[in-house]
Amino acid sequence: MNIPNLSRGRLQHFSAALVVALIFFAGFALGNQYAVSRAQGDSTAPPPEAAEAFEPFWQVYNLIQSDYLNPVDTTTLVDGATKGMVDALGDPYSGYMNPEVYDLLNSDLSGEFNGIGVVIRTDEETGQIVVVGLIEGAPAQAAGMKPNDILIGVDDQDVSNMNQTDLAVLVRGEEGTQVKITMLRGEETLDFTITRAKINVPNVETDVLDDDIGYIKLNQFTANARADLDSALDTIDVNERSGLILDLRDNPGGLLSSAIDVASVFIESGTIVTEDFGNDDPQEFDANGNFADINVPIAVLVNNGSASASELLAGALQDYDLATIIGETTLGKGTVQTWHELVNGGGVRLTIARWLTPDGHWIHEQGVTPDIEVAWEDRTFEPGEDDPQLDAAVNYLDTLVAEPVTDVQS
């Protein structure tokens, strides 16, 4: 792993609310999750006690087939009904994924995907999808796309009002195939014909700041996150530094097992997280013994894009007083999801538990409050933009290693 030549204020943080859009996947689908396959016993048989309750469903299905003006593909009806059933739970973290989206999200957890390599986010005020960064060397950069371009079309289809997941399905595709992307740059409309490529997304970014402070940004809690982190710690030679900054900003979470592995880098023993299933049988997850014995002060950067597994780690480090949390209050996602693969190749994610920090805090809809709060409200993602939160972390660590003042008597 190479340490990029980045100065403070130039570090590019590809948000995973960005990775959502960036790598074109739906970040809300991530979290502290298990993957569950059909082999684990999901039944496709209708339960007898529900037969009467589902009579209106079959009545509507039959009416559509017999009376509706235009022919409708059965798959379309089944997808709509399945999505509606899960949506009826009113839980933003439970949802149905059709086969295309399910494959999309699974590939994102692997750290590579076929696409164009553009980092985007949805502008909350306008609803437009805006480019905020480009993956180095990826097709979008080579084609001439720039930050602040607005995505308005894919293969001549208007995507101005499309959500990020549906857009992802359009933009992704087989390596070597072409996609036409239409962008709005200022008042000018630009078309780019781009050949999709296999893109490997670095999950860890490293640097050494002010010549002596190690910096590691973890973008996602993938299956390889622990190995990536171990390699990064070796690369920066962490215990020879004066401090370590762990950047979890815009990290949307990932696998629960990965969160436990990563937390065990910093926590030698004890409970990392407790799962509460709403019964009298909570499950505790303890440090797994793979302690890295880091002996320098640690600052952890968070913001409102730090979610789920990121909050789990930040909360545990805060409870054990092992790191100083700096930045903005985190998203506040304190629930656990399972992923079930369905017989149609799609999937469903369902909330099955809430999780608690080692001291028993439930951060849901509240988030982890930083020890040192530093706002960054006017973030524009422009190259060279100053980073007040990173500056605050560096300044904080600098104060810890400053030479003490010694009274001199005469």
Q: Looking at per-residue confidence, does 128 or 410 come out higher?
A: 128
As a whole number, mean pLDDT of residues 26-39 equals 41
Q: Please write the tens of the pLDDT for every residue from 108-162.
A: 666 678 889 887 777 778 888 888 778 888 999 999 999 889 999 999 999 998 8
Kindly report the CATH class assigned to 201-400.
alpha beta
| Pair 260, 253: CB distance under 8 Å | no
| Pair 11, 388: CB distance under 8 Å | no
Of the candidates 180, 175, 206, which has an alpha carbon nearest to the alpha carbon of residue 192?
A: 180
Please tell me which residue in 108, 207, 261, 319 is annotated as part of the active site.
Answer: 319
Query: What is the H or E stretch that residue 206 is in?
Result: strand 204-209
Of the candidates 370, 306, 352, which has an alpha carbon nearest to the alpha carbon of residue 332?
A: 306
Gap between the Cα atoms of 277 and 283, Å rounded: 8
Q: Which residues of 110-129 are buried (b: 16+ CB within 10 A; e: fewer)?
A: ebebbbbbbbbbbeeeeebb
Please, where are the H alpha helices in 112-185? 139-143, 164-171
Instruction: Judge whether 112-200 and 201-400 match in fold.
Output: no
Do strands 150-154 and 157-158 pair parallel, antiparallel, or not at all (unpaired)?
A: antiparallel
Query: Is position 43 annotated as part of the catalytic site?
Result: no
| Pair 315, 357: CB distance under 8 Å | yes
**pTM (global) more than 0.85:** no
Of the candidates 388, 193, 213, 392, which has an alpha carbon nearest to the alpha carbon of residue 296?
A: 213
pLDDT at residue 391 is higher than 80: yes
| pLDDT over 70, % of the chain | 85
Q: Please write the tens of the pLDDT for every residue from 174-193.
A: 899 999 999 999 999 999 99
CATH architecture of 112-200: Roll (2.30)
For residue 149, the one-letter residue type is: D
Instruction: Give the pLDDT confidence score for residue 178 in this predicted structure.
Output: 96
Gap between the Cα atoms of 12 and 384, Å rounded: 9
Gap between the Cα atoms of 361 and 247, Å rounded: 22
Please tell me which residue in 333, 371, 378, 387 is annotated as part of the active site.
Answer: 333
As a whole number, mean pLDDT of residues 306-332 equals 96
Gap between the Cα atoms of 87 and 318, Å rounded: 35
Please tell me which residue in 94, 257, 258, 308 is annotated as part of the active site.
Answer: 308
User: Taking the domains of the chain in order of start, what are their residue ranges?
Assistant: 112-200, 201-400
Confidence of residue 403 (pLDDT cuts 50, 70, 90): low
Gap between the Cα atoms of 290 and 396, Å rounded: 28
Do strands 243-247 and 213-218 pair parallel, antiparallel, or not at all (unpaired)?
A: parallel
Phi/psi at 151 (nearest 5 deg)?
A: -80, 120
| Pair 163, 220: CB distance under 8 Å | no
